[in-house]
Structures are given as C-alpha cells and as structure tokens.
Amino acid sequence: MSTCDDVFSRPKRFLLRLLKNYRSALLPVLSALLLAGCYAFVDDEAPPEWDDPAGAQQDVGAIAAAGGPGAGVFNAKCAVCHQMDGTGIPGVYPSLVGSELATGNPDLPIKIVLHGFQGPIERNGTQYNGVMQPWKNDLSDQEIADVLTFIRTSWGNSASEVDAETVVNVREATKSKAGAYTEEELKSSL
C-alpha cells in the first residue's frame, strides 16, 4: 500500500459507510434542498410585465391619450385591412393617409362606414376593386364619429373632427340605402 492510500483510506471508508447507511435518508434531504433552491429562484424573479394589470391599464390609457377613443375603434375594427399606420395594402386595401374621401366632406366617409364601399377605384396610380363591409349594425354613431375623427387627424391627416350628431343625420338620411356605395354613387350623393 502506498502512503497515499494510507492517508485517504480511512476517511474514504468512513464516507462510503456513511453513504451506505444513510442513502435512504439522504435522497429526500437532497430533493428538499433542490426544491428549496428552485423556489428561491422563482421568488427572486421580478413579475413579468404582461402579468401586471396596472401596467396594462397604463398602456390602454396611453393609447387613448394619443389617439382619443377612436384609436381603440380603429385598431379593433379597421386596422386589420387598412393597417395600424393607415397606409393599407397597395392594390388590396386603399391607404387612408391623404385619402381624399376620408379627409374631405365628412358625409362621405360616414356613408362608407355605415353602408360599405365597393367597386373599381384608382388611388395613387394603383387599381382597387374590393368590398368593404357595412358597419351600421356594429358601430354606434359615437363610435363612427370617434373613429373618423381619429383617421382625419392622424398620420399627417389634418381634417375637421366628426361629431356623433352628423353621423345620426347621415344615418337617418341614408336609412333606405341598400348595399355598399360605389365611388360614383358616393360622389353624386353630395
């Protein structure tokens, strides 16, 4: 036996015996330590932001402050086609940025939103021939006023605001309109 073995043989034997005798007791202790470690780790983590109702509320507040109530209607109902920045998709959904119809006489965009819009149009040299659905049964007069005010005052557009009373009047005046407006119908309706 070398000197080295001599020096370590005793503690080694002692440790082996300890392990053998207490193996059944050690396992639960080790598992408990491991679990405690995990919990300690979880506890240390800051709560994720999406789990913070106050933070979410602040976001909603910030959106409303930046775009008024119409921003919420736009994002929920119109952005899927006209996009969040209003620029649409060339050849499919026309841009609302600089749109003559959106920013001109408010009666026209009100008619479009109430009854829908369809048929061939040309915008900035691009042809469109799509169908926009009517919203008269889905949006209140106030919501239509809000969303049009948002569109007319966003992304560089600077047209007048639209109030709910104007929407009430256009809704009443066009209540017998069937189907979506075409561009010709719209322009000759003024």
Q: Are 16 and 23 in contact (CB under 8 A)?
A: no
For the bound state, the minimum distance from the C-beta of residue 32 to ligand HEC, rounded and expressed in Å, comes to: 57
For the bound state, the minimum distance from the C-beta of residue 102 to ligand HEC, rounded and expressed in Å, comes to: 4
Q: Residue 10: is it exposed, middle or buried by C-beta count within 10 angstroms (0-12/13-18/19+)? A: exposed
Closer residue to ligand HEC in complex, CB, 7/89:
89
Which residues of the chain form contacts with ligand HEC (CB under 6 A)? 77-78, 80-82, 93-94, 96, 99, 101-102, 109, 112-113, 117-119, 121, 123, 128-132, 135, 147, 151
Q: How many whole angstroms separate alpha carbon 138 and alpha carbon 33? A: 58
Both tokens assigned to 43: 């506890």
Distances in Å between the Cα of 105 and the Cα atoms of 40, 88, 111, 147, 152 are 64, 21, 11, 15, 11
Closer residue to ligand HEC in complex, CB, 44/100:
100
For the bound state, the minimum distance from the C-beta of residue 173 to ligand HEC, rounded and expressed in Å, comes to: 18
Q: How many whole angstroms separate alpha carbon 55 and alpha carbon 52? A: 5
For the bound state, the minimum distance from the C-beta of residue 85 to ligand HEC, rounded and expressed in Å, comes to: 14
For the bound state, the minimum distance from the C-beta of residue 112 to ligand HEC, rounded and expressed in Å, comes to: 5
Q: How many whole angstroms separate alpha carbon 4 and alpha carbon 77? A: 81
Closer residue to ligand HEC in complex, CB, 48/156:
156
Closer residue to ligand HEC in complex, CB, 67/109:
109
Closer residue to ligand HEC in complex, CB, 115/117:
117
